[in-house]
Structure 1
Amino acid sequence: MRTARFIAEGRLHIGTVHESCLVDEAGRCYPFEAVTWLPPVEPRKIIGVVLNYAEHAQELGMEVPTAPVLFFKPTTALIGHRAPIVYPTGVQSLHYEVELAVVIGKRCRKVARERAFEVVRGYTVANDVTARDFITNYFRPPVKAKGFDTFCPLGPWLVDAGDIDPDNVTLRAYVNGELRQEGHTSRLIYKVADLIAYISEFMTLEPDDVIMTGTPEGISFVKLGDVVRVEVEGIGGLENQIVAE
């Protein structure tokens, strides 16, 4: 099942996704083009992982980490499908990062790796937008680089946990229809179960918290007017345009 949050006719709805429309709680059907898309969940925290694909570390000239390297994105960075990504004034180097996002389904702590999928509600697509101007090294958490408003597109919908294998999906990013980035979650250094076990060892995870699992190689810079589409196989595509501040 796929679920979405959206605004239609001036009201917030949580509905199910059909082939060409969103169906609200009362059974009314809204065409995709007739709604304002919202992020599919409202997380209390968004946890990112850097350098979780060896090839991505290599393209940046970085060593592969010996443990997951984490950072937080603020909830004020969240936007939905088709909402604009704001290019901050003064930034010189802005890029996309397609990622599989894991949504937690229950409050949990110290989850064993072999039981990690028991706490997953579902999966969605994330774009970890990054202003590389503010990344000097990964010993300094990239909070500013990744924390601007609109720097966390999420969506377009949530896919139930049992509907895909998170360790076996392809990720792609397109800019103006041109394929720029492609990877596969089988190449993750720390897979979904590893990340849940590692993070929950010291931090309580709560329902609708989001873990962004990292991006593969293939980042490139974008400019004003570009349309970025990030896709995860089995989930769908998340599209946003770059606009001026």
Structure 2
Amino acid sequence: MEFRRILLDGNVVVVRREGDTLVSADGRRVEAAEATHLAPVTPTKILCCHLNHVSRVREFQISLPPAPTWFQKPISSLNTHGGAVVRPANCQFLNFEGEVAIIIGTTARNISLDEAPAVIAGYSIANDFGLHDFRDTDAGSMLRVKGADTLCPLGPGVVDDWDFRDKSIRTYVNGDLRQDGSTNEMAWDMHYLVTDLARVITLVPGDVILSGTPAFSRPVSPGDVVTVEVEGLGALTNHVVASPLPVSDEVGAQPTATEEVLSTTYGGDWEFRGQRAPKPTSRGELPYPRVRPKFES
């Protein structure tokens, strides 16, 4: 079953989806296409896996890390289905990243792999947008790259009975297919990711874990409409708008367009930053198919 949070008659209401209609507990009904969606949960933290899809690792011509590595998006980056994603006036490298989001349902700490399924309330769709103009200064923490306001669209709902195995993950820009991946190419599945984090971090209901993106994350521009479609979870759609204001130059690091920025933005070779130009963006020019078997290195 799928649950969503919407504004209904001026109130925040949890509804269940019945086909194209959303139904509240008191029987009120609204068409999903006409509803004002909110983020489906109110997390205390948004934790994100750096690299998990084999296609993305191969795109950058690097090795898969021996275990998941992590970064965090601030709660203030949370956005909604149908919400606007804002690109500052002096930035140009705003990349989409279609992902599956894990939603925590019960408090968890020091759990086993066998206990992980019971901790998960369900799954949603996320677009882990990144503002790579700040990649030079925040490559480790990813704070401004991934943490700027509006850069974490989540939704439209939470599906509580979804089997994550062998599901397609596709991202479209203005209706054109840009990412075409699968959960089968993930090195670490949803249960592993939850168990890994819970070794040292207490997970509480509503917390969100982003599970990684496949190859072909690319920049988008104001006016573009980006849709992430996950088999069995539906579709998350957002539009990109331009902020009339630039990032202030009074203090702090400024947006850049170095080889490190470009190699991340366009899928270049991470091992040869500063020596090679970014790789071509055509799928046909990369040395692997779109979907790789699980755990293949």
TM-score tier by shorter-chain length is over 0.9
State the identity as a percent.
Answer: 38
- State which of 173, 176, 181 in structure 2 corresponds to 1:183: 181
Q: Letter of the aligned partner of 1:195 in structure 2? A: L
Q: Any idea what SS the aligned residue of 1:135 has? A: helix
- State which of 156, 166, 169 in structure 2 corresponds to 1:168: 166
TM (normalized to structure 1)?
0.95
Contact 1:126-1:212 at 8 Å conserved across structures:
yes
Deviations 1:48-75 (A, max 9, x none): 0111112212323443211211011111
Bigger shift: residues 213-222 or 24-33: 24-33
**Alpha-carbon distance between aligned partners in 2 of 1:215 and 1:138, rounded to the nearest angstrom:** 19
Q: Letter of the aligned partner of 1:177 in structure 2? A: G
Unpaired runs of 5+ in structure 1?
Answer: none
* 2:208 alignment partner in structure 1: 210
C-alpha deviation, 1:137, in angstroms: 8.8
Q: How does 1:41-80 map to 2 (within 5 A)?
A: 41-80=41-80
* 1:120 alignment partner in structure 2: 120
Q: Any idea what SS the aligned residue of 2:220 has? A: coil
Query: Does residue 29 of structure 2 align to residue 29 of structure 1?
Result: yes
**Alpha-carbon distance between aligned partners in 1 of 2:197 and 2:83, rounded to the nearest angstrom:** 30
Contact 1:8-1:34 at 8 Å conserved across structures:
no
Contact 2:138-2:144 at 8 Å conserved across structures:
no
* 1:133 alignment partner in structure 2: 133
Bigger shift: residues 133-142 or 145-154: 133-142
**Alpha-carbon distance between aligned partners in 1 of 2:73 and 2:62, rounded to the nearest angstrom:** 22
Bigger shift: residues 5-14 or 119-128: 5-14
Q: How does 1:94-109 map to 2 (within 5 A)?
A: 94-109=94-109
> In terms of Rg, which structure is larger?
2
Deviations 1:173-197 (A, max 9, x none): 0000000001111111111111111
C-alpha deviation, 1:111, in angstroms: 1.1
C-alpha deviation, 1:120, in angstroms: 0.6
Deviations 1:188-208 (A, max 9, x none): 111111111110001111011
**Alpha-carbon distance between aligned partners in 1 of 2:34 and 2:54, rounded to the nearest angstrom:** 41
**Alpha-carbon distance between aligned partners in 2 of 1:132 and 1:58, rounded to the nearest angstrom:** 20
Q: Letter of the aligned partner of 1:131 in structure 2? A: L
Larger strand fraction of residues? 1
TM (normalized to structure 2)?
0.79
CA RMSD, aligned part only?
1.4
Bigger shift: residues 150-159 or 49-58: 49-58
Q: Letter of the aligned partner of 1:189 in structure 2? A: A
Q: How does 1:189-208 map to 2 (within 5 A)?
A: 189-208=187-206
C-alpha deviation, 1:149, in angstroms: 0.5
| Number of matched pairs | 243
Q: Any idea what SS the aligned residue of 2:70 has? A: strand
Q: 1:139 to 1:66 in 2, by over 3 A?
A: farther
Which segments of structure 1 move beyond 4 Å, counting only runs of 4 or more?
none
**Alpha-carbon distance between aligned partners in 2 of 1:103 and 1:64, rounded to the nearest angstrom:** 25
Q: Any idea what SS the aligned residue of 2:30 has? A: strand
Contact 2:52-2:186 at 8 Å conserved across structures:
yes
